[in-house]
Structure 1
Amino acid sequence: MKLYSLSVLYKGESKTVLLKAAYDVSSFSFFQRSSVQEFMTFTSQLIVERSGKGSRASVKEQEYLCHVYVRNDSLAGVVIADSEYPSRVAFTLLEKVLDEFSKQVDRIDWPTGSPDTIHYTGLDSHLSRYQNPREADPMTKVQAELDETKIILHNTMESLLERGEKLDDLVSKSEVLGIQSKAFYKTARKQNSCCAIM
């Protein structure tokens, strides 16, 4: 999973203005980096121009996904990531960046701003922090931990089966289970014998 670009733009009536952008083009060759960065800027502006106010969308371009969020106040954000990057995390990042940007940069400066005149320094740190969505986003981290727990549980059941122990033998040898519990287990086992245990 990789984030390549994070941009803040203003959707004007006649044109879209790039206000601030951060790029991670380290995975491209040195000679391609400036062209790739220009293409990401062009793509971000084009997507914002073609998107309506108050909309969120994800646009696929080859193996990349461009996530765009255009607010009703014409402030817009674009994340360009690989196709594996979770969309929910990308939109969480866009919402956070746009809220932060609108609090730090005066609205009067949006239509006439440029990356050189806008004083907002949060994009690089957000781009770096959100490279790993599990670390940056609490929900993704919790989901990863749940998936990991499932794997551990599945591995535990498989390891029990690998040792060659049968549950029937364990039940019959058990000193904790009473005679009625053992009888109940045998009866239930007979009735469920048509079903396989997953």
Structure 2
Amino acid sequence: MKLYSLSVLYKGDSKVHLLKAAYDLSSFSFFQRTSFQEFMTFTSQLIVERSELGSRASVKEREYLCHVYVRNDGLAGVVIADNEYPPRVCFTLLEKVLDEFSSQVSRIDWPSGSPSTITYEALDGYLSKYQNPREADALTKVQAELDETKIILHNTMESLLERGEKLDDLVAKSEVLGLHSKHFYKTARKQNSCCKIM
């Protein structure tokens, strides 16, 4: 999973202005980096230009996904990521960046702004932090931990079965379970045995 670009743009009446951008071009060769950066800037501007105010969209371009969020006030954000990166995390990032940007940069500067005139330094930090969606996004982190717990649980049950022990034998040998619990287990086991798929 990889993020390549994070851009903040302004969609005016006649033109889209790039206000600020951050790029991670480390996966491209040195000689290709300038071309890829220009391509990402061009693509970001084109997507914002073709998007309606108040819309969110994901656009596929070869092995990349471009996620765009254009607010009703014309402020827009674009994330370019690979196909594996979770779109939900991209839109969370865009909303966070645009809210922060609008609170730090005066709206008067948006129509005439450019990367050299706008002072907003947080994009590089966000691009770096969100490279690992599990660490950056709490919900993704929790889901990953649940998936790992599930794998560990399956591995534990498989290792029990691999040793040749059967749950029925363990219940029969147990000194902790009372007679009623053992009887309940055996009855439940018999009732559920009719439902096995062959």
- Partner residue of 2:98? 98
Residue 71 of structure 1 pairs with residue 67 of structure 2: no
* Number of the residue aligned with 1:86: 86
- Give ranges in structure 1 of 5+ residues lacking alignment: none
Once the two structures are superposed, residues 53-112 of structure 1 have per-residue CA deviations (whole angstroms, 9 ceiling, x without a partner) of 000000011110000000000000000000111111100110111111111111111001
- Alignment RMSD (CA, Å): 1.2
**Aligned length in residues:** 197
Identity %: 85
Distance in 2, matches of 1:191 and 1:64, equals 52
Q: TM-score, normalised by structure 2?
A: 0.96
Q: Give how far 1:157 is off.
A: 0.8
Alignment of 1:190 onto 2:182: no
Aligned equivalent of 1:164: 164
Q: Distance in 1 between matches of 2:186 and 2:139?
A: 43
Secondary structure in structure 2 of the residue aligned to 1:192: helix
Q: Equivalent residues in 2 for 1:106-185 (5 A)?
A: 106-185=106-185
Question: What is the one-letter code of the residue matched to 1:33?
Answer: R
What is the CA-CA distance between 1:43 and the residue it aligns to? 0.2
Q: How far does residue 174 in structure 1 lie from its aligned partner after superposition?
A: 1.6
**Deviation (angstroms), 1:188:** 2.4
User: 2:45 — aligned with what?
Assistant: 45
Runs ≥4 residues deviating over 4 A: none
Structure 2 unmatched runs, 5+: none
**TM-score, normalising length from structure 1?**
0.96
